[in-house]
């Protein structure tokens, strides 16, 4: 071979933008490979690709749906980000999501507040309960890890299944709606406000026929939001992005998290309480995933039921990794995956979106090599001389 | 005549740093060549190029006359070059033999290892590198681990051995053993490159010397015969260095640290401290002398809360034994740890983040729940200037600093805290002559300001220069405490090998 591929260990730092370009490259390559695969099984990659795009980003209405899918992903992505910063491998966001959904549901299922309570009260209480539920569910593996050095990867993974069974038990045995594996629909006071809800008063105003009012409303394009299901959860997500960023980059605690993540021995020497910090990080991570669960049942499903998550918690791991543990980068990555999930639902073969996700994860993990090594093509001389 | 190694016009550039600026270096066959230079001069970088870890930006490399280009340490090993780094790369839970064979094609599986034990024993015999082949690495002393590293390179057929500051971590006896090994190697035709900051060693052992300053060669392969430490220091620093750190007379104040009947186990679970009692007063430096591994590390760890113990330890009357490290920190105890990489710093965090490790909780760096990173950066910049830390800026991650400069970051952090009590373990390890002088001066300034300092060092010279009193530790017991003025190296040396000195009233004063 006239060329040889060599890996050289990087001695200089890569520029700040480089990891993100690598992530982008990994996504593109995953798309290309999926396309080739699709072609091999007789599909039309370009048609499918175009369909994917229109189904997720084609117009404001579908983009709103994409954002609805992205909302829980932002929150679970943040949950993983916080834990991974400390090199705590919490892969239990899925279980914490269910735990959060369950705990939030208790507010209306027990019920803790009556169905006609003000929406603000119900929603606030549910959000708090959701976070507590997730936090408790994060606390358990955190405590086991901190106190008894029980590997958190295994416990968080196992607890995912426990949470799903736990949920099923209650929705089947206690709060089942006519024997189905779901609870009755929540009262309206437990629904997060959606954009479409604001389109309703718009209709009434339009019916007044007053040209000044209708003209104004038309001008600001309010009619477009009719039917849009984007809900308040997205605001939860965005607020949490800022909160998590502040914690990690500006707060004393964030500094401690990073110090423990980088060198626990040095952190111990510097006087940090590592046991407490592990537990706290798992609590916060769990609370974020729990909030995602709450947002999903109050914003989309409006009841507790089986399969409220198509694996959001696991996707959160990929998202955190792709975003290089940068809270702001979690937003675009979550939107991309939201689009994938949305478009993937309606496409045949049905596993395509999942396959693509798998490829992206694989690519992203292997592309990390490029951060540490330089790839070079070198010409090898044909004279047989060693180089 | 062909040289073992010829490095010609080597350039290595890091972002913001020209680490090697057109460096020429030649190694003759069968010689011991010392490579000297200030902290950050580019010594490790140059040797990492030769060992295939870094790739030069410019310049050529010849080994035994043949041009070579290394893409990995494997290539360098294939060319007969082996390097022993300052931090060892051994697997603690495996045996000596297993470590030596690790990564080789033969054997493929670790079966029937006794056959290899024999081969390794032969190598040991040949070069005087005694270490039991079936012992696990974690059971070995630092000196023995270093021998395993050397054996590893020899087993791979190295005839050019690079040693990066090998003596920094060794006890005097171990240094002698190493010197004998190196001589045996050169007698059998191998060549050795040897980096050191201990100039008297260099004048003793080296055949030739190359000196780097700020990435450039200032003396290329000059004959070592007739060179004095003072002359070497001048070549390194570019000016005359006066070795004259003088401590003033000072009447010590109240007792700050009081250790009473403290016992502790080491990490292997073996008793390491057996009923130690000592005290350090304000404005006083108590030196701890002893052969490495006699309990010094454990003593530092129990005082700073890093190791459980029995007995009583108080700082200004507050009991701090068996309490988390934060208690010692809050009571004004600073700690310069023995292991700067594993304990003292966070490799991927910036110089700034490493310097605020102890003071981020309080103003001005800490600000309620948040950290004022502007103030933190200014703090780090101030330390960088005062302690002469060589780095392009304070955003540089710690792992990119040269060994000596990382040590300076830790010293800067701990000394600048103006502690009431300072536990300093090998504070000047890895520093160049100039830096040693300024750090010793700074330690004396702390003493002047009323700090109590416990100085643990294997350099008797340093102990004599700085200490008011010297306590000798042997197998976890204090053999005696003597006033520096009333003792000499002979007496301390005797106590270090286990002969007890009867307590004298003046020396044992509280
Ligand atoms: N990987 C790296 N990235 C960036 N800069 C580096 C890297 N390695 C070394 N440097 C810089 O290159 C210069 C030379 O470092 P080097 O480690 O060779 O010094 P040294 O002579 O071995 O010093 P010391 O005696 O302190 O060990 C230093 O300024 C150091 O900060
Ligand atoms: Mg060095």
Asked if the model's pLDDT at residue A222 lies above 70, the reply is no
As to burial, measured by CB atoms within 10 angstroms (0-12 exposed, 13-18 middle, 19+ buried), residue B494 is middle
Cα(A100)–Cα(A294) distance, integer angstroms: 6
Asked if the model's pLDDT at residue A211 lies above 80, the reply is no
β-bridge partners, B472 = B289, B480
Q: How confident is the model at residue A384 (pLDDT cuts 50, 70, 90)?
A: very low
What average pLDDT does this structure show over A281-286? 98
A257 occurs within a structural domain: yes
Q: Measuring from atom 2 of ligand 1, which residue has the nearest CA?
A: B400
Report the residue of chain A nearest B326, measured CA to CA. A271
- Residue A56's nearest CA partner among A341, A310, A308, A359 is A341
What is the second-level CATH architecture of the domain B3-237?
A: 3-Layer(aba) Sandwich (3.40)
Contact B349 A252 (CB under 8 A): no
Give the one of A9, A250, A262 whose C-beta lies nearest to B349's C-beta: A262
Which ligand 1 atom minimizes the distance to the CA of A12? 3
User: How much is the pLDDT for A46?
Assistant: 86
What average pLDDT does this structure show over B458-476? 93
For B354, how many CA atoms within 13 A lie in the half-sphere containing its CB? 35
Residue A135: strand, helix, or coil? helix
Tell me the domain boundaries of chain B.
Answer: 3-237, 253-332+419-510, 343-418
As to burial, measured by CB atoms within 10 angstroms (0-12 exposed, 13-18 middle, 19+ buried), residue B362 is exposed
Residue A297 DSSP label: I
Beta carbons within 10 angstroms of residue A324's beta carbon: 18
Report chain B residues touching chain A, CB-CB < 8 A: 14-15, 53-55, 69, 71-72, 304, 306, 324-326, 328-330, 335, 337, 342-349, 353, 356-358, 360-361, 366, 369-371, 373
Asked if the model's pLDDT at residue B328 lies above 60, the reply is yes
Contact B353 A9 (CB under 8 A): no
Q: How confident is the model at residue B498 (pLDDT cuts 50, 70, 90)?
A: confident
As to burial, measured by CB atoms within 10 angstroms (0-12 exposed, 13-18 middle, 19+ buried), residue A236 is buried
C-alpha distances in Å from residue A374, one per residue of A110, A363, B483:
59, 17, 58
CA of residue B405 to ligand 1 center, whole Å: 8
Cα(B473)–Cα(B493) distance, integer angstroms: 11
User: How much is the pLDDT for A99?
Assistant: 97
Structural domain containing residue A163:
42-194+229-348
A13 occurs within a structural domain: no
Sort out which chain A residues have CB atoms less than 8 A from B413's CB and list them. Answer: none
Cα(A91)–Cα(A156) distance, integer angstroms: 6
Beta carbons within 10 angstroms of residue B64's beta carbon: 15
Q: Which fold has domain B253-332+419-510?
A: Rossmann fold (3.40.50)
Q: Measuring from atom 16 of ligand 1, which residue has the nearest CA?
A: B42
For B497, how many CA atoms within 13 A lie in the half-sphere containing its CB? 7
- Residue A294's nearest CA partner among A111, A129, A101 is A101
Burial A96-115 (b: 16+ CB within 10 A, else e): bbbbbbbbbbbbbbeeebee
> Phi first, then psi: what are they for B57, rounded to 5°?
-80, -30
User: How much is the pLDDT for A223?
Assistant: 67
User: What value, to the nearest 5°, has the Cα angle with vertex A334 and ends A330 and A338?
Assistant: 175
Sort out which chain B residues have CB atoms less than 8 A from A9's CB and list them. Answer: 53, 72
Asked if the model's pLDDT at residue A379 lies above 70, the reply is no
This model of the complex carries an ipTM of 0.90
User: How much is the pLDDT for B379?
Assistant: 96
Give me chain A's average pLDDT, please.
86
A32 occurs within a structural domain: no
User: How much is the pLDDT for B108?
Assistant: 63
Query: First and final CA of chain B: distance in angstroms?
Result: 66
Asked if the model's pLDDT at residue B351 lies above 90, the reply is yes
Residues with Cβ < 8 Å from B43, sequence gap 6 or more? B35, B36, B37, B164, B195, B212
Cα(A120)–Cα(A127) distance, integer angstroms: 11
- Residue B357's nearest CA partner among B332, B384, B329, B324 is B329
Tell which wins on pLDDT, A366 or A114.
A114
Is residue A113 a contact partner of residue A75, using CB atoms and an 8 Å limit?
Answer: no
A259 occurs within a structural domain: yes
Is residue B215 a contact partner of residue B19, using CB atoms and an 8 Å limit?
Answer: yes
The string of pLDDT tens digits covering residues B53-76 is 888 889 999 999 999 988 888 889
Residues with Cβ < 8 Å from B201, sequence gap 6 or more? B167, B175, B179
What average pLDDT does this structure show over A138-163? 94
How distant is the alpha carbon of residue B97 from its chain centre? 26
Is residue B276 a contact partner of residue B323, using CB atoms and an 8 Å limit?
Answer: no
**3-class SS string, B323-378:** CCHHHHHHCCEEEECCCCCCCCCCCCCEHHHHHCCCCCCCCCCEECCEECHHHHHH
Cα(B489)–Cα(B363) distance, integer angstroms: 46
Cα(B107)–Cα(B88) distance, integer angstroms: 23
For residue A55, what is the domain's CATH number? 1.10.3470
A204 occurs within a structural domain: no
DSSP letters along A50-78, please?
HHHHHHHHSSHHHHHHHHHHHHHHHHHHH
Q: Whose structure tokens read 């396959």?
A: A355
User: How much is the pLDDT for A387?
Assistant: 34
Peptide bond into B364 cis (omega under 30): yes
User: How much is the pLDDT for A380?
Assistant: 56
Asked if the model's pLDDT at residue B509 lies above 50, the reply is no
User: How much is the pLDDT for A302?
Assistant: 92
β-bridge partners, A308 = none
Is residue A93 a contact partner of residue A159, using CB atoms and an 8 Å limit?
Answer: no
Is residue A372 a contact partner of residue A100, using CB atoms and an 8 Å limit?
Answer: no
The string of pLDDT tens digits covering residues B206-260 is 999 999 999 999 989 888 888 888 888 888 888 777 767 788 888 888 999 999 9
Is residue A157 a contact partner of residue A92, using CB atoms and an 8 Å limit?
Answer: yes
The string of pLDDT tens digits covering residues B478-497 is 999 999 999 888 889 889 88
Q: How confident is the model at residue A285 (pLDDT cuts 50, 70, 90)?
A: very high
Asked if the model's pLDDT at residue A383 lies above 60, the reply is no
Contact A268 B369 (CB under 8 A): no
Burial B364-384 (b: 16+ CB within 10 A, else e): ebbbeebbbbeebbebbbebb
C-alpha distances in Å from residue A55, one per residue of A52, A61, A345, A357:
5, 10, 10, 17
User: How much is the pLDDT for A221?
Assistant: 66
Contact B335 A269 (CB under 8 A): yes
> Phi first, then psi: what are they for B125, rounded to 5°?
-60, -45
Asked if the model's pLDDT at residue A213 lies above 50, the reply is yes
Extract the tokens encoding B423: 């536990």
Of A61-65, A180-184, A376-380, B166-170, which range is least confident?
A: A376-380
User: How much is the pLDDT for B307?
Assistant: 95
Q: Whose structure tokens read 């040269």?
A: B402
Of A105-119, B99-113, B379-393, which range is least confident?
A: B99-113
> Phi first, then psi: what are they for A220, rounded to 5°?
-80, 5
User: How much is the pLDDT for A176?
Assistant: 81
User: How much is the pLDDT for A13?
Assistant: 67
User: How much is the pLDDT for B256?
Assistant: 96
Q: How confident is the model at residue B91 (pLDDT cuts 50, 70, 90)?
A: confident
Asked if the model's pLDDT at residue A261 lies above 50, the reply is yes
Cα(B45)–Cα(A97) distance, integer angstroms: 50
Residue A183 DSSP label: P
User: How much is the pLDDT for A334?
Assistant: 95
Extract the tokens encoding B227: 């060179």
Residues with Cβ < 8 Å from B484, sequence gap 6 or more? B287, B463, B464, B467, B468, B469, B470
- Residue A111's nearest CA partner among A168, A190, A191, A192 is A190
What average pLDDT does this structure show over A286-308? 94
- Domain count for chain A, please give it: 1
User: How much is the pLDDT for A7?
Assistant: 67
C-alpha distances in Å from residue A248, one per residue of A242, A256, A274, B125, B369:
10, 9, 17, 56, 12
Is residue B224 a contact partner of residue B208, using CB atoms and an 8 Å limit?
Answer: yes
Q: Measuring from atom 24 of ligand 1, which residue has the nearest CA?
A: B39
A19 occurs within a structural domain: no
CA of residue B195 to ligand 2 center, whole Å: 8
The string of pLDDT tens digits covering residues B282-327 is 999 999 999 888 999 999 999 999 999 999 999 999 999 999 999 9
Task: Provide the percentage of residues in chain A whose pLDDT is more than 70.
Answer: 90
Contact A265 B343 (CB under 8 A): yes
pTM: 0.90
User: How much is the pLDDT for B507?
Assistant: 44
β-bridge partners, B26 = B6
Q: Whose structure tokens read 């030069």?
A: B56
Asked if the model's pLDDT at residue B510 lies above 50, the reply is no
Cα(B434)–Cα(B431) distance, integer angstroms: 8
CA distance A125 to chain B (A): 26
Asked if the model's pLDDT at residue A353 lies above 80, the reply is no
B3-237 shares its CATH topology with B253-332+419-510: yes
């Amino acid at each position: 071979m006239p060329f040889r591929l060599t890996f050289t260990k990087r001695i200089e730092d890569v520029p700040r933008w480089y990891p993100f370009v690598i992530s982008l490259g990994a996504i593109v390559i995953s798309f290309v490979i999926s396309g080739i695969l699709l072609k091999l099984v007789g599909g039309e990659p370009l048609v499918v690709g175009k369909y994917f795009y229109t189904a997720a980003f084609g117009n404001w209405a579908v983009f709103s749906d994409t954002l609805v899918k992205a909302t829980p992903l932002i929150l679970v992505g943040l949950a993983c980000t916080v834990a991974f910063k400390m090199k705590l491998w919490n892969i239990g966001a899925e279980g914490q999501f269910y735990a959060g959904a369950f705990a939030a549901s208790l507010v209306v299922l027990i019920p803790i507040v009556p169905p006609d309570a003000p929406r603000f009260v119900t929603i606030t209480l549910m959000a708090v309960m959701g976070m507590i539920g997730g936090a408790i569910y994060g606390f358990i593996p955190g405590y086991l890890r901190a106190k008894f050095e029980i590997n958190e990867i295994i416990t968080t993974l196992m607890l995912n299944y426990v949470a799903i069974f736990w949920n099923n038990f209650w929705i089947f045995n206690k709060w089942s709606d006519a024997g189905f594996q779901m609870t009755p629909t929540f009262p309206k006071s437990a629904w997060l406000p959606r954009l479409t809800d604001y389109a309703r008063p718009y209709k009434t105003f339009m019916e007044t026929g007053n040209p000044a009012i209708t003209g104004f409303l038309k001008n600001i394009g309010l009619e477009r939001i009719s039917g849009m299901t984007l809900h308040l959860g997205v605001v939860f997500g965005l607020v949490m992005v800022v909160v998590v960023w502040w914690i990690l980059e500006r707060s004393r605690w964030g500094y401690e998290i990073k110090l423990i993540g980088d060198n626990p021995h040095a952190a111990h020497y510097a006087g940090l309480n590592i046991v407490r910090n592990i537990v706290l990080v798992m609590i916060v991570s769990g609370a974020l995933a729990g909030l995602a669960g709450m947002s999903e049942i109050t914003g989309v499903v409006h009841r507790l039921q089986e399969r409220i998550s198509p694996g959001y918690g696991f996707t959160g791991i990929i998202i955190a990794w792709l975003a290089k543990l940068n809270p702001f980068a979690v937003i675009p990555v979550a939107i991309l995956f939201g689009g994938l999930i949305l478009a993937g639902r309606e496409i045949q073969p049905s596993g395509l979106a999942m396959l693509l996700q798998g490829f992206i994860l694989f690519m992203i993990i292997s592309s990390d090599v490029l951060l540490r090594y330089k790839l070079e093509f070198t010409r090898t001389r044909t004279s047989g001389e060693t180089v | 005549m062909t040289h073992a190694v010829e490095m010609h016009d080597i350039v290595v550039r890091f972002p913001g740093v020209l680490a090697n600026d057109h460096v020429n270096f030649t190694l003759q066959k069968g010689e011991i060549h010392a490579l000297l230079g200030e902290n950050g001069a580019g010594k490790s970088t140059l040797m990492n190029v030769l060992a295939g870890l870094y790739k030069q930006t410019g310049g050529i490399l010849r080994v035994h006359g043949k041009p070579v280009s290394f893409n990995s340490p494997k290539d360098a090993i294939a060319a007969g070059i082996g390097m022993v780094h300052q931090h060892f790369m051994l697997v603690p839970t495996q045996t000596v033999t297993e470590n030596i064979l690790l990564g080789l094609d033969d054997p493929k599986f670790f079966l029937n290892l006794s056959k290899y034990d024999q081969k390794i024993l032969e190598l040991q015999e040949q070069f005087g590198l005694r270490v039991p082949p079936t012992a696990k690495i974690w059971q070995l002393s630092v000196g023995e681990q270093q021998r395993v590293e050397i054996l590893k390179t020899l087993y791979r057929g190295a005839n050019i051995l690079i040693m990066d500051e090998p003596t920094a971590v060794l006890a005097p006896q171990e240094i002698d053993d190493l010197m004998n090994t190196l001589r045996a190697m050169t007698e059998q035709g191998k060549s050795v490159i040897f980096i050191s900051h201990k100039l008297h060693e260099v004048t003793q052992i080296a055949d030739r010397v190359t000196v780097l300053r700020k990435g450039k060669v200032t003396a290329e392969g000059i004959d070592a015969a007739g060179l004095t430490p003072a002359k070497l220091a001048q070549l390194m620093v570019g000016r005359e260095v006066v070795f004259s750190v003088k401590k003033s007379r000072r009447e010590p104040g109240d007792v700050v640290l009081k250790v009473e009947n403290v016992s502790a186990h080491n990490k292997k679970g073996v008793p390491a401290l057996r009923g130690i009692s000592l005290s350090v007063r304000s404005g006083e430096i108590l030196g701890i002398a002893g052969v490495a591994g006699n309990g010094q590390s454990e003593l530092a760890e129990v005082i700073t809360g890093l190791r459980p113990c029995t007995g009583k330890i108080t700082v200004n009357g507050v009991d701090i034994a068996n309490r988390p490290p934060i208690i010692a920190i809050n009571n004004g105890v600073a700690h310069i740890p023995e292991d700067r990489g594993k304990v003292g710093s966070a490799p991927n965090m910036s110089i700034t983040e490493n310097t605020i490790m102890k003071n981020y909780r309080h103003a001005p760096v800490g600000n309620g729940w948040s950290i004022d990173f502007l103030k933190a950066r200014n703090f780090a910049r101030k330390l960088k200037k005062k302690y002469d830390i060589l780095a392009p800026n304070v955003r540089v991650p710690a792992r990119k600093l040269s060994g000596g400069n990382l040590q300076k970051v830790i010293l800067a952090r701990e000394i600048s805290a103006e502690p009431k009590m300072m536990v300093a373990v090998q504070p000047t390890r890895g520093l160049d002559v100039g830096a040693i002088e300024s750090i010793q001066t700074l330690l004396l300034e702390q003493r002047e300001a009323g700090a109590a300092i416990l100085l643990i060092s294997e350099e008797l010279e340093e102990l004599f220069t700085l200490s008011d009193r010297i306590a000798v530790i042997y197998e976890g017991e204090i053999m005696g405490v003597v006033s520096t003025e009333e003792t000499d190296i002979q007496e301390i040396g005797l106590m270090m090998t286990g002969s007890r000195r009867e307590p004298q009233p003046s020396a044992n004063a509280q």
